[in-house]
Amino acid sequence: MKPSPVEKIKIESKGLRGTLKESLSNDLTGAVSDADAQVIKFHGMYLQDDRDRRDERAAKKLERLYSFMVRLRLPGGNLTPEQWIATHHIAGEHSTGVIKITTRQTLQLHGIIKSHIKPTLQAFNAAHLDSIATCGDINRNVAASSHPSFSPIHAQVHAYADKISAMLMPKTRAWYDIWLDEEKLAEYSEDDPLYQDRYLPRKFKIGIAIPPNNDVDVLTNDLALIAIIENEKLLGYNIAIGGGLSQTHGNPETYPRLATVIGFTAGEDDTMKAVYEVLTIQRDYGNRSDRKQARLKYTVDKLGVDFFKNEIEKRAGIVLHPAKPFAFTERKDLFGWQQSENGLWHYTVFVENGRVTDDENAATKTALFEIAQGGNCLFRFTSNQNAIIADVAEKHKLQIDSLLEHYGVKSFTENASQIRKHSMACVAFNTCPLALAEAQRYLPSFISKVEPIIAKHGLQQEEIILRMTGCPNGCGRSVAAEIGFIGTAYGKYNMQIGGDRNGERLNQLHKQNIGEEEILIELDKLFGLYKSQRKPAETFGDFAWRMLQSI
Amino acid sequence: MLAPAKLDALHNFIETSTKEELLWISGYLAGLATDGTAGVVGSVNESALKQQTITVVYGTETGNSKKVATMAASKLKQHGIKTKLLAAENFKPEQLYKESNLVISVSTQGEGEPPANAKGLYDFLHATQQSLSHLRYSVLALGSRSYPLFCQAGVDIDSQLRRLHATPLLPIAMCDDDFEPVAEAWITALLSTIQPTANTQQETVAQSKKADGKKSFVASLGVNQMLNDRGSNKEVHHLEFDLAEELLYNPGNAVGIVPENTAENVNRILALLKLHPQDRVNYKGETYEAFVLLQKKLSILHLASGVIKKYADFLQTEIPETRMDLYDLLRIYPMQNESQAQALIDILNPISPRLYTISSSPNAHPGQLHLTAALHTFESVGEQRNGFASSFLTQLKPGQQLEMFLHQQKTFQIPRSDRHLVMIAQGTGISPFRSFMAERDAIGATGHNWLFFGEEDFVADFYYQSEIQNWFETGSLHYVNLAFEKNRNQSLQVHELILKEATRLWQWIETGAYIFVSGEKEPMGKEVENALQQIIMEKKGVNSEDAGAFLKQLAKDGRYAKELY
């Protein structure tokens, strides 16, 4: 099979340098060359354009309004107040101003034009932040359960996320070389035993969950680690492989898949080894000719779980033990103030669609900025796109609370409906080149239309998980929701139902290619049936699943 | 034996003549020289005059179709075939009836739909019934086999063109995700299909078009498009006029336009003058309807102080020396009685015509004339005002008729097509160079082209960016240096760019390149001239006086031309 064109670009990229320097100095365009648009992903950036403005710009004989999205590498989603302040200023100076919390616990800025990339990355670097390998065919940001109060081992797990991230970084200094004008280090070898010169066949995502909360949606990752805790001690991790939600409309060879638990590794070292070798197996066996068949999930289904188990044991020189029992009972953020066992306080802010900005709901951006200026907390981001003001000592709690109150953050967090707080959307229009339908821009007003239907059926207290994505690639994890919408064309969605509350069962297609009016009618019908026919304590997802199976 | 100017003119003439024409001319001249009677060799083959041009149009969403179209256009040009490359949104469907060879590269969206920018063309082809039997075409369709309606938009366009009796040059080519191999094979096939015919007709460039004198003509506005994007401090309009009959002009020519006063302003002045719009009044020995005279002939805005003084004398009133609009003058210093209206009209100046350099090319934009006009704003007596002519032009509506006359700018004519050309522009100074580039691109000129361009904002003020990119990508434009004050890595002024490129620029000058400068006299024109002089001093090792003389000689030879305002 002929390798896909991207394979050639990777191999010829001279350690992910490509011709980025030439592309940067090309005066004529705000874009980079086609090959560099692939290479720049490995530096944590996507070349995008404002899709709303295409026709208008074309009429003006101007090229598309190109800009770049920069995504930070934040294993576990942690930031110091100084780093938040730096990000706040960088966003204002070089991007659209909105700080976007992603569905994988990191931050990204949109609308950075080509000449602003270097100043942006230099400013991030000065704040000890980077964007290395946050996009592209490589291990991306490592996600880990967010809330410090979940467990005393929280800090241990987060340190571990950092270690994994560091272990799986590419060895090339290209990021420093290109964006910081770093002099080439003579004695430094860029030989990369893990990625070699071909990197992975496709993106690779790792998540770590601390049961019983599955807030990271751990099974949707290529590689999932589930912390196994006994007597408040971390014993090791169950390893699951082959998660991934992307699919392509009309291509039955593509499908979403949750990760399969393949065993348990005791202790950190063995787990590290196993993780590393899952990547090398995927590197060696993954499909490099068809990018729509290249994710680990297809490799796992092609080679079988047993092959993977044996190969991991052989390559890592470890023993994969039988998986330990674990149970997820929820998949959500704990909004408002929570206290952890060490006595520190944590406030989870509801950030609608993860867009930190000042709007009519709340001056969230200003509030977080002023709280950061106080310097008495840490910032954590969740896989549900919310922000946690973490590690607040009792004596600082009141001051932070009054800022949250003053800027309307508290009332928005407390008063937003359950359905709104448990919903999520990907970016989609106007910047995502893959979007077929609206998501992030549309979800808030869509939820406003769903809320009265929920109220009509008296379901306001139900924490139903509703998600929307503008295309079938799955950034908003719609197929892992109780109610999922997947964009098919502008204004049209596939409606999916029957996913479970905890993220262990994917939903199924219910109605194909329908618009808002039909969606609302359908929701009204479903909520009515749920209200009248649910079993005690049955979630909407489980009810819908039961209903789908009985048809 | 011939003076440089005559020699150049002769070269110019020879260059634009066909073999047959030259043969004919040589006989004619021989006859003239020997016995004073022109010899006759026979007429030029009319059919050979038709130049083979390929128009490559792309409809794109992700940029892949554009990439293929650009590859195709650039290959065709390399083989000496006149080629135009256009984004589908810039291709007017009516143009189908004027083209003889059309190449379309188009992708497919969603459920077999064309990309947004090709929707117009796609719909037109489905709707029209008018035959396209004169047209030869080839379609390359891009798509993905993972979607059910593979390459459907391209397939539809192909079948519509067949329905309209156009002749396919090649069967439709359909590309999957990995489009490059199919696209390359298609381009090769296209070349071998077109080349034999193209070569035989290649040399028949016959446009010994002499620009008309001052004959005026009427053009109707087709498009009025502001070029600046949102957030710009500028307002530059691209105006496309449709010509009722063929206009013979050369790139570098200008048109004269007499701006008109707004009906609103005219009416309120008529009211103050107590005149009815249809009342007859005299001006310079002719009789007009009052409304028409005020709207089309008389300068009534920002009156010259001389005019105001005459009015003051006439009223025997003190009016401070200032400039103001006629309306304000009549409001503040009213006439004493109605019979004075004619006397007032007598002292008003006529509207003087304004010249605008044409930004279209006769070969690239047949049947059209384009202008690039900036809305000029200035401050007067503490008030922000818009320029009379520029606000008139930029506010024209499609469908409006406008009278204009052609104005040759003898020292600013497009150089011979085999000469290298350096174009230095600031702001709307780009307009003649868009004409030069479009022309040189359309006729497949062999001379190299180098553009320096400066404006304020890269994102919002890069006039004709997509066209400039196409010329660059297809090899018609060889170097581009840009000076934008905003949104660039480094912000250099145009003259600083020139100094930075001193070595190459001097090489070009030494190999006979033409240097054209267009834009504002101050400071750009001055600074550019100083920079050129500095380069000459350095490279020739001469003092400033000699460098100045060198530049003067270049200007005399027609190799250094300026259009500054």
**Contact flag B459-A113 (C-beta cutoff 8 Å):** yes
Predicted local confidence at residue B79, as pLDDT: 81
Report the pLDDT value the prediction gives residue B45, as an integer from 0 to 100.
Answer: 33
pLDDT score of B205 more than 60 = no
Any long-range contacts for B184-189 (C-beta under 8 Å, 24+ apart)? B184/B71, B186/B72, B186/B138, B186/B140, B187/B68, B187/B71, B187/B72, B187/B75
Instruction: Answer for the pair B151, B112: CB distance below 8 angstroms, yes or no.
Output: no
pLDDT tier, B211 (very low <50, low <70, confident <90, very high otherwise): very low
Q: For B429-441, what is the mean pLDDT? A: 97
Q: What stretches of B90-215 show up as alpha helix (H) in DSSP? A: 119-127, 152-163, 180-201
Residue of chain A whose alpha carbon sits nearest to that of B461: A62
Per-residue model confidence as pLDDT tens digits over A437-472: 999 999 999 999 999 999 999 999 999 999 999 999
Chain A contact set for B67 (CB, 8 A): 34
Mean pLDDT on A282-300: 97
> A251-260, B145-154, B451-460: which has the minimum mean pLDDT?
B145-154
For residue A119, the chain B residues in CB contact (below 8 A) are none
Is the CB of A55 less than 8 angstroms away from the CB of B116? yes
Spatial neighbors of A100 by CB under 8 A, at least 6 apart, are A107, A108, A109, A110, A354, A355, A356, A427
Mutate to test the interface with B, among A61, A248, A253, A471 (most CBs of B within 10 A): A61
pLDDT band with cut points at 50, 70 and 90 for residue B39: very low
Considering only CB atoms, B459 lies closest to which of A28, A65, A118, namely A65
Mean pLDDT of chain B: 86
What is residue B17's predicted lDDT score, i.e. its pLDDT?
Answer: 63
Per-residue pLDDT tens over the stretch A234-257: 999 999 999 999 999 989 999 999
Nearest to A115 among B89, B460, B487 (CB): B487
- pLDDT greater than 80 at residue A184: no
The count of other CB atoms within 10 Å of the CB of residue B279 is 16
Instruction: Give me the pLDDT at residue A527, please.
Output: 98
Task: Show the beta-strand stretches assigned E in A214-321.
Answer: 223-230, 233-241, 260-266
Do residue B117 and residue A55 have CB atoms under 8 angstroms apart? yes
- What pLDDT shows up at residue B185? 86
Q: How many CA atoms lie within 13 A of B311 on its CB side?
A: 31
Chain B positions touching A118 (Cβ under 8 A) are 489
Residue B231 CB neighbours (<10 A): 10
What is the pLDDT at residue B202? 35
Which has the higher per-residue pLDDT, B13 or A9? A9
Mean pLDDT of B244-251: 91
Cis peptide before A212 (omega within 30 of 0): yes
Give SS3 for B132: coil
Q: Is residue B550 pLDDT above 80, yes or no?
A: yes
The pLDDT value recorded for residue B543 is 95
- Residues of chain B neighbouring A36 (CB-CB closer than 8 A): none
Query: In chain A, which residue's Cα lies nearest the Cα of B118?
Result: A55
A150: confidence class by pLDDT, cuts 50, 70, 90: low
pLDDT band at A373 (very low <50, low <70, confident <90, very high): very high
The reply to whether B91 touches chain A by the CB within 8 Å rule is: no
Q: Using omega within 30 degrees of 0 as the cis cutoff, is the peptide bond preceding B543 cis? A: no
> Does B45 contact A at CB distance below 8 Å?
no
Sign of the Cα torsion A369, A370, A373, A375 reads negative
Q: Which of B457, B466, B496 to mutate to test the interface with A (most CBs of A within 10 A)?
A: B466
pLDDT in tens, B378-395: 887 778 888 999 999 999
Residue B489: band (very low, low, confident or very high) from pLDDT cuts 50, 70, 90: low
CA distances from B261 to A478, B320, B390, B392 (A): 61, 25, 12, 8
Q: What is the pLDDT of residues B419-433, one digit of tens each?
A: 999 999 999 999 999
CB contact under 8 A, B228 and A60: yes
Instruction: For residue A391, give Cα distances in angstroms to A165, A215, A351, A382, A422.
Output: 23, 19, 19, 15, 24
* CA-based nearest residue to A223, from A143, A318, A137: A143
Tell me: pLDDT of B41 over 50.
no
pLDDT band at B5 (very low <50, low <70, confident <90, very high): low
B460 contacts on A by Cβ (under 8 Å): 62
- B window 424-483, beta carbon within 8 A of A: 458-460, 462-469, 472, 480-482
pLDDT in tens, A87-103: 999 999 999 999 999 99
Q: Supply A376's token pair.
A: 């008495």
Q: How far is A121 from chain B (nearest CA, A)?
A: 14
Q: Which stretch of DSSP H or E encloses residue A205?
A: strand A204-209
pLDDT digits (tens, 9 = 90+) for B114-131: 988 898 899 999 988 889
A385-411 pLDDT, tens per residue?
999 999 999 999 999 999 999 999 999
Answer for the pair B373, B393: CB distance below 8 angstroms, yes or no.
yes
Q: Do A237 and A160 touch, CB atoms closer than 8 A?
A: no
The pLDDT, as a whole number, for residue B64 is 87
Q: What's the gap in Å between the CA of B251 and the closest CA on chain A?
A: 20
Mean pLDDT of chain A: 96
Percentage of chain A lying above the pLDDT 70 cut:
99
The whole-number pLDDT of residue B42 equals 32
Chain B residues within 8 A of A25 when measuring between CB atoms: 489
With CA atoms as reference, the chain B residue closest to A55 would be: B117
In chain B, which residues have their Cβ closer than 8 Å to the Cβ of A34?
63, 67
Which region among A194-198, A505-509, B146-150, B174-178 has the lowest average model confidence (pLDDT)? Answer: B146-150
The pLDDT, as a whole number, for residue B26 is 56
Query: Any idea what the Cα angle at residue A190 is, between residues A189 and A193, rounded to 5°?
Result: 105
Contact B480 A28 (CB under 8 A): yes
The answer, yes or no, to whether residue B492 has pLDDT greater than 90, is no
**B229 in A contact zone (CB under 8 Å):** yes
- Binning pLDDT at 50, 70 and 90, where does residue B361 land? very high
CA-nearest residue of chain A to B460?
A62
* Residue B14 confidence (pLDDT) above 70: no
Contacts with A477 (C-beta within 8 Å, 6 or more apart), sequence order: A103, A217, A220, A245, A424, A467, A469
Rounded to a whole number, what is the distance in Å from the CA of A251 to chain B's nearest CA? 5
Q: Is B284 exposed, middle or buried (0-12, 13-18, 19+ CB in 10 A)?
A: exposed
Cβ–Cβ below 8 Å for A59 and B89: yes
Q: Cα–Cα distance between B168 and A118 in angstroms, integer?
A: 49
**What's CA B462's distance to the chain center, in Å?**
15
Cross-chain CB nearest to A29 (options B67, B146, B469)? B469
Alpha carbon distance A200, B152 (integer Å): 34
Direct distance between the N- and C-terminal alpha carbons of chain A, in angstroms, rounded to an integer: 42
What pLDDT does residue A310 have? 97
Give the C-alpha separation, B365 to B98, whole Å: 11
Q: B240 to chain A nearest CA, in Å?
A: 13
Q: Chain A: residue nearest B477 by CA?
A: A28
Q: At A379, is the pLDDT very low, low, confident or very high (cuts 50, 70, 90)?
A: very high
* More confident of the two residues B324 and A349: A349
| Shortest Cα–Cα distance, A100 to chain B (Å) | 23
Which is higher by pLDDT, A144 or B323?
A: A144
